[in-house]
């Protein structure tokens, strides 16, 4: 047997398992670990898409919530799983942020995972209490400059905390961050008159639109939100560096075959494009993602670079 023949035979043998794995996926129930509490944006978007994937393939898809340590507990399970596409995770930007904020992690947030799909995009909004001594972002900036560090802003997680810090840096002001266990807790304090500002997702803000106890004064998306078209973006206010658009997506463990990643990406995008899932997205105030694998990988590199710059600028605080 010639060297070329032997090499071709070896390559064929190596390729066969990956091709077979792709063509037969899934071979058993697919387990989706959401490393956050049930009922949040990551959980709801992941359920909407992956349950539709299960219906398309006529295979069981099991969604399992494993919250704790800002997502690290559930993510570790996926990092240690076989790369066969049967154990995946629904996550958000906090997964990448943990590299800079967690005291330690039992895995590498990038090297131990494979980005597969992005279901949806979302933005944060800045809410102000109705009785706050400012009515808009310019008024807030003036008030904060007059009393550095005196104005509190509530954040719901690592990502919203960083967004708040980026806004403060862009505006040249100092705010006092108060971290809450979710957007619901911070908005309750806001509406109760105990907090002047809060950062929440668009989905959290939408049900509050008719309340006379809050004002939505800005949105972080780089373009006007289709859900809040009258609310100014930070970019339109001259604070483009405070802009941010988050994502909800699907990742798997490292070493997944590229053909398998492409297959799952295509199935997730097809499910997300169905009328039922699109309608669900609208109720959650998120925009469809539907990126191909290359697009997903590019977005993750951009996000990782953003958080690295934020860490270098001192905007991220590491847990002790």
Instruction: Please tell me the predicted confidence (pLDDT) of residue 9.
Output: 46
- pLDDT of 8 > 80? The answer is no
Task: Quote the crossing angle between the two packed helices 293-312 and 158-171, to the nearest 10°.
Answer: 60
Q: How far is CA 118 from CA 27, 62, 293, in A?
A: 23, 19, 9
279-295 mean pLDDT: 93
- pLDDT of 166 > 70? The answer is yes
- pLDDT of 12 > 50? The answer is no
Instruction: Give start and end residues of each alpha helix (H) in the chain.
Output: 3-24, 41-57, 72-79, 94-101, 137-146, 158-171, 183-191, 202-205, 258-272, 275-284, 293-312
- The pLDDT mean for the chain works out to 89
Q: Which of 2-11, 128-137, 260-269 has the lowest mean pLDDT?
A: 2-11
Instruction: Please tell me the predicted confidence (pLDDT) of residue 290.
Output: 86
Q: How far is CA 125 from CA 61, 201, 214, in A?
A: 33, 6, 12
Q: Which of 88, 83, 55, 10 is nearest to 277 (CA)?
A: 55
Domains and CATH numbers, the chain: 21-121+246-312 (3.40.190.150), 123-242 (3.40.190.10)
> Residue 25 in 3-state DSSP?
coil
- pLDDT of 317 > 80? The answer is no
**pLDDT tens digit string along 48-78?**
999 999 999 999 999 999 998 889 999 999 9
Q: Which of 250, 254, 258 is nearest to 19 (CA)?
A: 258
What does the alpha-carbon distance between residue 299 and residue 183 come to, in Å, rounded to a whole number? Answer: 25
Instruction: Please tell me the predicted confidence (pLDDT) of residue 300.
Output: 96
Q: Are 30 and 252 in contact (CB under 8 A)?
A: no
- pLDDT of 22 > 70? The answer is no
Instruction: Please tell me the predicted confidence (pLDDT) of residue 314.
Output: 84
Instruction: Please tell me the predicted confidence (pLDDT) of residue 286.
Output: 92
Instruction: Please tell me the predicted confidence (pLDDT) of residue 249.
Output: 96
> Residue 213 in 3-state DSSP?
coil
State CA 80 to chain mean position distance. 22
Q: Are strands 30-34 and 87-91 parallel, antiparallel or unpaired?
A: parallel
Between 210 and 237, residue with greater pLDDT: 237
Number of Cβ atoms within 10 Å of the Cβ of 225: 22
- pLDDT of 182 > 80? The answer is no
pTM for this prediction: 0.82
Q: Are 30 and 61 in contact (CB under 8 A)?
A: yes
Per-residue pLDDT band at 11 (split at 50, 70, 90): very low
Instruction: Please tell me the predicted confidence (pLDDT) of residue 80.
Output: 97
Instruction: Please tell me the predicted confidence (pLDDT) of residue 273.
Output: 95
**pLDDT tens digit string along 213-226?**
999 999 999 999 99
């Amino acid at each position: 047997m010639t060297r070329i023949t032997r090499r071709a035979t070896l390559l064929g043998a190596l390729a066969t398992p990956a091709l077979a794995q792709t063509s037969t996926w899934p071979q058993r129930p697919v387990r989706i670990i959401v490393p956050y509490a049930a009922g949040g944006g990551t959980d709801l978007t992941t359920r909407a898409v992956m349950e539709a994937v299960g219906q398309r393939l006529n295979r069981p898809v099991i969604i399992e919530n494993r919250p704790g340590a800002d997502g690290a507990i559930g993510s570790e399970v996926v990092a240690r799983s076989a790369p066969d596409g049967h154990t995946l995770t629904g996550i958000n930007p906090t997964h990448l942020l943990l590299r800079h904020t967690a005291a330690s992690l039992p895995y590498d947030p990038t090297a131990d995972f494979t980005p597969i799909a992005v279901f949806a995009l979302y933005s944060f909004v800045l809410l102000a209490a109705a009785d706050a001594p400012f009515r808009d972002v310019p008024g807030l900036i003036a008030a904060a400059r007059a009393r550095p560090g005196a104005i509190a802003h509530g954040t719901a997680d690592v990502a919203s905390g960083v967004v708040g810090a980026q806004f403060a840096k862009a505006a040249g002001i100092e705010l006092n961050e108060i971290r809450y266990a979710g957007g619901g807790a911070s908005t309750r304090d806001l509406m109760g008159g105990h907090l002047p500002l809060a950062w929440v997702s668009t989905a959290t803000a939408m049900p509050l639109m008719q309340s006379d106890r809050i004002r939505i004064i800005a949105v972080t998306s780089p373009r006007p939100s289709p859900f809040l078209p009258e609310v100014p973006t930070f970019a339109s206010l001259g604070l483009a560096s405070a802009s941010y658009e988050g994502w909800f997506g699907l990742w798997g463990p490292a070493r997944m075959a590229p053909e398998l990643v492409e297959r799952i990406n295509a199935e997730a995008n097809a499910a997300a494009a169905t009328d039922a899932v699109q309608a669900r997205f609208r109720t959650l105030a998120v925009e469809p993602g539907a990126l191909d694998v290359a697009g997903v990988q590019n977005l993750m590199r951009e996000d990782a670079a953003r958080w690295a710059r934020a860490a270098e600028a001192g905007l991220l605080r590491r847990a002790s």
